[in-house]
Amino acid sequence: MMTTGTILAAGVMAGATALDRVHLLQWLIARPIFSAPLIGYLLGDLPGGLLIGTWIELLWISVLPIGNFTPPDSHAVAVCAVALFAPWHGPAPGAVTVSSATGVLAVAAAIPLGILSRNCDIGIRRRLAEKMEALMQEPPPYRFGPPLFLALSSAFLKAFLLVVASAVVAVSVRPIVRAVVSIGGIRHGLEMAATWIPALGLVQLARCYCGRSRKAPFFIGAGLAAAVLIIFFLRRCVVGVPVP
Amino acid sequence: MSLSEKIRVFLRLHAVQFLWNFKGMQNVGFYYAILPALRRIYAGDSQGLEQAQRRHFGFFNTHPYFAPICVGVSIKLEEDLRAGKGKPEMIPVLKNRMSGPLAAVGDAFFWETVRPTVGALAALSVYALGLSSASTIRLLLLLWILYVLPVEWLRWQGLSWGYLHGFDVVKVLKERGFQKRMKRLRTLGMFLLGGVTVGFVMLYDDRIFLWCCRAGIAGLLVLLTLRKVSPTFQLYILILVALLVSYLGTMAGLV
């Protein structure tokens, strides 16, 4: 059940986990697959957090923070999407079971927030670069407290505010979203998109593993899996054993 | 380097990117991590300490898990300098000459191989075990621990390798076989990916129309990826295609 307290707790958790993305530890806590369930748990929707986290992890599995490239903020998208999804998906009068359809809508709505967050990151890093340029001219010991405060507080506050704002907006537009998703054609289309999202992850992962230069193991794996599944289908047809 | 100093440097290395910026990148994190060692080396020599601080406040960027190696090597070089060996102006040059290759190894091994593998296994466990299963959470926790423990080991050992071996640390890394492990992991990953792809196409249900849709979608995504369309844009295309297929399928009575 979402209350002001749980929304604020989710905001604080989002802010804390955001620090793992670049600033501290790099223990993967900020990866969507781990941060989204945490936010989902706090908002009373752990399965929703797992579902959203899995999709966003797969979506940006091959986007890498190399050099001075600033990737889209997958953490912000994950925590915001969960904050949007929890009220849309949660119990309410006349609610229908539309978990995967509302999940797709939540992810699609949260992605622009991730891009906004990335642009904020770039702006802050430019500001920090200016401060750093001035700091490098000074004699040691270097007093980097103010820029450090700017870096950490901006990362924390950005995630905190995005989650709180997403949750508040999600609650206010909940009737509209539920009305849209309850339209049969739209719901079915979104549910179908939800079943296709893993394909996006598979392709991105293949790109990560340099897919074209490792065709043989891919096709061996595919052939073995196809053989196993065909055997199961044949068994089902002949003796009625269900496919796992 | 005493154990207490090593622990202090090790803990500070977790914040090597805490002030990442376009100008010096990890310079402040590196400076913050090496500071306890510099204070020990230049105890009673404030001018030497000031010069050393200047040397380590310049541009620095490497993979965060491999930064301890550079810090270890730099501590060794500073100790040698204090003992009268080497030139001070060479330390930043050598440090940065080392950081590039280490960043390349770290990015390829951790960011491009291990992290996506952990993410994919976590996603697979969610799909295989279900959203409401306690086993899913346990498996996610296990995967997280299996990632973090070696990373922490590498950070701790990296500091020691850098300090003990200096520039010979490259040999130590070769012995550890990061490249070989990465190649094996990628090959295994592609093998599993082949199996999961077939499962994706065939396992949801057994309606041939939906099999064809999913196979077609996988092909479309491969094509878009080869044409360098961003995954974000691909997701929106996917949603639009799904809505269209749903509409057409309903009209034709296939869905």
pLDDT per position as a tens digit, A204-218: 999 888 766 778 888
Q: Quick one: pLDDT at residue A240?
A: 64
Verify whether the Cβ–Cβ distance B127 to A72 is below 8 Å: no
Phi and psi at residue B25, to the nearest 5°: 55, -105
**Measured between beta carbons, which residues in chain A are less than 8 angstroms from residue B199?**
225, 229
Share of residues in chain A with pLDDT > 70 (%): 93
Measured at the CA of A70, the angle between CA A64 and CA A72, to 5 degrees, comes to 75
Residues B79, B5 share a domain = yes
Q: How confident is the model at residue B176 (pLDDT cuts 50, 70, 90)?
A: confident
Residue A67 has pLDDT above 80, yes or no: no
Where does the pLDDT of residue B204 fall: very low under 50, low under 70, confident under 90, or very high at 90 and above? low
User: Is A43 within a domain?
Assistant: yes
Name the H helices within chain A. Answer: 4-21, 32-42, 46-59, 74-89, 99-137, 145-181, 184-208, 215-239
pLDDT band at A98, cuts 50/70/90? very low
pLDDT: which is higher, B255 or B135: B135
Residue where a domain terminates, one of B121, B136, B170: B170
Is B195's CB within 8 Å of A224's CB?
Answer: yes
Q: What is the pLDDT of residue B242?
A: 92
Average pLDDT score, chain B: 91
CA distances from A145 to A128, A130, A153, B32, B159 (A): 12, 15, 12, 11, 26
A62-66, A100-104, A140-144, A154-158, range with the lowest pLDDT? A62-66
Query: Looking at residue B254, what is its pLDDT?
Result: 66
pLDDT at A92: 45
Average pLDDT of span B174-189: 88
Does position A220 have pLDDT exceeding 70, yes or no? Answer: yes
pLDDT at B113: 92
Residue of B60, B111, B125, B239 to mutate for A, most A C-beta atoms under 10 A: B239
Contacts of A137 (CB under 8 A, 6+ apart): none
Same domain? For B11 and B131 the reply is yes
- Residue A241 belongs to some domain of the structure: no
Contact B198 A222 (CB under 8 A): yes
Does residue A71 have a cis bond before it (omega within 30 degrees)?
no
Q: Which of A71, A59, A167, A142 is nearest to B49 (CA)?
A: A142
Query: Do residue A72 and residue B203 have CB atoms under 8 angstroms apart?
Result: no
Q: Which of residues 157-176 of B touch A (CB under 8 A)?
A: none
Whether B160 shows a pLDDT value over 50: the answer reads yes
* CB-CB under 8 Å, B238 with A47: no
Cα distance from A239 to chain B (closest Cα, Å)?
17
Taking only the tens place, the pLDDT of each residue in B105-116 is 999 999 999 999
Under an 8 A CB cutoff, do A62 and B131 touch?
no
Q: How far is A123 from chain B (nearest CA, A)?
A: 10
* Phi-psi category of residue A11: left, alpha or beta, with phi > 0 → left and psi -120 to 50 → alpha: alpha
> Out of B23, B64, B120, whose CB is closest to A205?
B120
B159 and B234 assigned to the same domain? no
Whole-number Å distance between alpha carbons of B7 and B108: 28
Chain B residue nearest residue A68, CA to CA: B22
Cα distance between residue B65 and residue B107, in whole Å: 10
Nearest chain A residue to B211, by CA: A196
A69 part of a folded domain: yes
Residues B46 and B75 in one domain: yes
Show which of B119, B135, B170 is a domain's final residue.
Answer: B170
Range picked from B134-148, B156-170, B188-202 for highest mean pLDDT: B134-148
Residue B26 structure tokens: 């990890």
Mean pLDDT of A71-80: 94
Query: Considering only CA atoms, which of A221, A188, A184, A209 is closest in space to residue B210?
Result: A188
Residue B21 phi/psi, 5-degree rounding, is -150, 160
CA angle B169, B175, B179 (to 5 degrees): 100
Shared-domain flag, residues B153 and B244: no
Contact A189 B31 (CB under 8 A): no
Q: Does the structure show a pLDDT above 70 at A182?
A: yes
**Long-range own/partner contacts, residues B201-204 (CB < 8 A, 24 or more apart):** B202/A226, B202/A229, B203/A229, B203/A243, B204/A195
Q: How confident is the model at residue A96 (pLDDT cuts 50, 70, 90)?
A: very low
- Which residue segment(s) compose the domain that A81 sits in? 4-195
- What per-residue confidence (pLDDT) applies to A90? 58
Mean pLDDT confidence for B65-69: 96
Nearest-angstrom CA–CA distance, A45 and A83: 10
Mean pLDDT of A71-75: 91
Nearest to A199 among B49, B131, B217 (CB): B217
Q: What is the DSSP string of A124-167?
A: HHHHHHHHHHHHHHSPSSP--HHHHHHHHHHHHHHHHHHHHHHH
In chain B, pLDDT over 90 holds for what percent of residues?
A: 67
CA-only gyration radius of chain A, Å: 22
pLDDT of res. B35: 96
Residue A209 domain flag: no
pLDDT for residue A94 is more than 50: no
Q: Residue A162 pLDDT more than 90?
A: yes
The pLDDT score that the predictor gives to residue A95 is 42
- Identify which of A139, A10, A193, A128 has the alpha carbon closest to the alpha carbon of residue B246: A193
What's the total number of domains in chain A?
Answer: 1
- The verdict on residue A200 lying in a domain is no
Q: Domains in chain B: how many in total?
A: 2
Question: Which of A46, A52, A54, A243 to probe the B interface (max B CBs under 10 A)?
Answer: A54
Q: How far is residue A220's CA from residue B195's CA, in Å, rounded to a whole number?
A: 8
CA angle B56, B12, A133 (to 5 degrees): 40
Instruction: State whether B189 and B124 are in the same domain.
Output: no
Weakest-pLDDT range from A131-140, B10-19, B204-213, B215-224:
B204-213
Predicted structure pTM score: 0.91
Distance between CA atoms of residues A114 and B200, nearest Å: 28
Q: Classify residue B60 by its DSSP letter.
A: B
**Predicted pLDDT of residue A211:** 61
Domain that holds residue B209: 177-255
Contacts of A102 in chain B (CB under 8 A): none
Are B214 and B97 contained in the same domain? Answer: no
Do B136 and B221 have their domain in common?
A: no
Does B122 contact A34 at a Cβ distance shorter than 8 Å?
yes
Among the candidates B115, B148, B170, a domain finishes at B170
Is pLDDT at B1 greater than 70 in this prediction? yes
Question: What's the token pair of residue A59?
Answer: 């979506």
